[in-house]
Amino acid sequence: MSQPGNAAGRVVLIGWDAADWALINPLLDAGLMPNLRSLVERGVMGKIETLQPPLSPLLWTSIATGKTADQHGILGFLEPDPAGGGVRVSSSSSRRVKALWNILDQSGKRSLVLNWYASQPAEPINGVIVSNAFQTATSPHHTPWRIVPRSVHPPELQETLADLRMHPGELTGDDLRQFIPNLAAIDQNSDRRPLQLAMILAEMLSVHAATTWLVEHEPWHFLAVYHGAIDLAGHYFMRFRAPQMEGVSAQDFENYKEVMNGVYCFHDMMLGRIVQLAGPDAAIVLVSDHGFESGRFRPLTDHGTKDDSPLMWHRSHGVLCMAGPGIRPDELVHGAGLLDIAPTILAMFGLPAAADMPGRVLAEAFTSPAIPERIPTWEDGKPHDTGESLPDDFEATAVMMQQLADLGYVDPISDDAVETLRLSEKANKFALAQVYVSTGRPDEAIPLLEALSAAAKASERTVMRLYLAQALFAARRLEECKVVVEDILAAEPNRPAAHAIRGNLALAMGDSETGLASLLKAEKEWKDSPRLKLLIGGAYLRTRKWMDAERCFRAVIAFDSDMAEAHAGLARSLMEQRRFRPAAAAALGAVGLKFNLPGSHYVLGASLAQLGQKERAIQAFETCLKLAPDTEEARSWLTKLQAAH
């Protein structure tokens, strides 16, 4: 069978955490990211949907394995340390399934893997792994900087690669002025932000130096390299980017407004070097795990360093760009998700995806999409091998954990090991519950959320019970949901999210008047929430108020054009108004952002059929039935169209 992707069998996977087309596109138009522009022009590009919850260790492990977090086992930034009784940074030994490099290893391919999340300790594979602990500076400048044990496989490359690392103290004022032109005016004794940038850049440069050395000196078929600098810098500096945000001083705005553009342009320079070294026969896959707010909807805070809720900055869609042999030139790819990356890369090597990988092969990206038949699984039932067990490196772990705490991704690190362990386990159980709900398994989430609610402190209990109420509603356990919601409102009568759930609950139980009243009360308290407007739009759909639904969904899209559910609701409301042409366009917008929306494929088919486009309508109905075989309306339409055709 001919390979659909890279005929020469070399693939480069580059991860840019939090990269977003909303910020990239103006830089492309200005000619400031020429290497990415070259990839876009000779390949395919599109938006890629994230997973829930949008936490980097979960997402990058899903990208590498093609599996959700409950399958692969990485549930957070931290995990229990079986040796010390406290916590450690999530490790490769906790991953329960094979990553791409393990699958390619057993298929005779050689991999180079650098800085991937949860890759410490480095696994013994056919190739090289440089873990995400390799570049962490654990000592002051001009003092010995030892390498973290087992951060490089094979170990004989340790010393060579260690010499390529850059310490933050090596960066000069001239280096930083490329990002902070006004550096000389900043008092760095009181303002640590230049130091934070130096730490981010030094780690990025260390990874890049190791990557280029390995590409030049080691044989390989697959290269995977991850850079987290866009996300890290974003949490410190995105608020200072133009236009000036409320609460940002004129001086801070002037000092730091160019940092994010500089970080993106530097990534483009690194990209150009990797593409050059990989050669013309290599396929390039560039992906981010989610997007990042960069415009008028950036979260407002009352201080000027970082946000206390970093996930508020994450957008639902990141970037995807693929170029190289066998990949279509200058095309768009629609409806991609993070779980599609692993099956697509396997297809590039002529290898099958497994049936236990939920994602699809992005066949539309290839000139010759001959996709191998799926096998049941790549797993062999053996424990995941990370080599000889060794204690964690205390200094490196402490530095990495403090970085996460500084950014707000984990709770402040306590001297009380038992308390730190409790908080870590709570966060991971909460993440697992969100995975269950987002993948349509609310019944599995409910026991976790009940336990978390019962054990939560008073300040956290309401949030946990709101999630519990949502899970109960999703599981159609409506009476239990009602008890939880009324309990929340008895304690906090003005809680908008509780009114929103009460509204949808009332609608589901047939009480339209109470349902809409509760939703409108929530909207009054929570005017700028696109998620709430989405709920209200859904309520209007259920009560057949098509024009009101259209108004709500258009408001959501104006706030965030990447919300697939809003496009789906708009399509339905337009179809019901018999405005079939705009309904078809809205349905295409929905499935272009999220492929797995059978209702939108149905609306697309019904609208196209009414417009007389029978062949395209048949395709849409067939896709709908493939995703949701019990959709009788689609089956009826399809039977009628096929008979007429």
DSSP characters for 415-456? S-HHHHHHHHHHHHHHHHHHHHHHTT-HHHHHHHHHHHHHHS
Q: Which residues pair with 79 in a beta bridge?
A: 88
Residue 469 — φ and ψ, nearest 5°? Answer: -60, -40
Q: Decide if 620 contacts 604 (C-beta within 8 A).
A: yes
Q: What is the pLDDT of residue 1?
A: 36
CB-side exposure of 41: number of CA atoms within 13 Å?
8
At CA 527, angle to CA 524 and CA 529, rounded to 5?
A: 130
Q: Decide if 582 contacts 562 (C-beta within 8 A).
A: no
Q: Is residue 631 part of a domain?
A: no
Reply yes or no: is the peptide bond before residue 299 cis, omega within 30 of 0: no
Q: What is the pLDDT of residue 303?
A: 41
Give the separation between CA 332 and CA 43, rounded to whole angstroms: 9
Q: Which two tokens stand for residue 382?
A: 């053996």
Q: Is residue 230 part of a domain?
A: yes
The DSSP annotation for 318-364 comes to EEEEEESTTB-SSEE--SEEGGGHHHHHHHHTT-PPBTT--S---GG
Residue 49 structural domain: 10-365
Stated length of the chain = 645
Q: Which residues pair with 46 in a beta bridge?
A: 320
Query: What amino acid occupies position 224?
Result: A
Q: Is residue 311 part of a domain?
A: yes
CATH number at residue 148: 3.40.720.10
**CB within 8 A of 621, min separation 6: which ones?**
601, 602, 605, 634, 635, 637, 638, 641
Give the separation between CA 518 and CA 375, rounded to whole angstroms: 49
Q: With CA atoms as reference, report the closest residue to 140 among 158, 167, 171, 161.
A: 167
The list of the chain residues with pLDDT below 50 reads 1-8, 302-308, 390
Q: With CA atoms as reference, report the closest residue to 481 among 493, 494, 460, 466.
A: 466
Q: Is residue 561 part of a domain?
A: no
Give the separation between CA 377 and CA 287, rounded to whole angstroms: 25
Residue 379 — φ and ψ, nearest 5°? Answer: -80, 150
- Residue position matching structure tokens 């196209």: 608
Q: Is residue 117 part of a domain?
A: yes
β-strands 111-114, 127-130: how paired?
A: parallel
Give the separation between CA 566 and CA 558, rounded to whole angstroms: 10
Give the separation between CA 580 and CA 574, rounded to whole angstroms: 7
**CB within 8 A of 327, min separation 6: which ones?**
5, 6, 43, 44, 283, 365, 366, 367
Q: What is the pLDDT of residue 409?
A: 66
The reported pTM is 0.90
The DSSP annotation for 362-392 comes to -GGGBSS--PPPPBS-S--SPPP---S----
How many structural domains does the chain have?
Answer: 1
Q: With CA atoms as reference, report the closest residue to 46 among 295, 362, 298, 343.
A: 362
Q: Decide if 128 contacts 115 (C-beta within 8 A).
A: no
Q: For the segment 103-162, what is each residue's pLDDT rounded down to a tens digit?
A: 999 999 999 999 999 999 999 999 999 999 999 887 777 788 888 899 999 999 999 999
Give the separation between CA 537 and CA 457, rounded to whole angstroms: 34
Give the separation between CA 320 and CA 323, rounded to whole angstroms: 10
Helix (H, G, I), strand (E, B) or coil at 81: coil
Q: Which two tokens stand for residue 490?
A: 């008895």
Q: Is residue 210 part of a domain?
A: yes
Q: Is residue 102 part of a domain?
A: yes
Helix (H, G, I), strand (E, B) or coil at 216: helix
Q: What is the pLDDT of residue 438?
A: 94
Q: With CA atoms as reference, report the closest residue to 261 among 242, 286, 282, 289.
A: 242
CB-side exposure of 188: number of CA atoms within 13 Å?
11
Q: With CA atoms as reference, report the closest residue to 553 among 580, 518, 587, 507.
A: 587
Q: Is residue 198 part of a domain?
A: yes
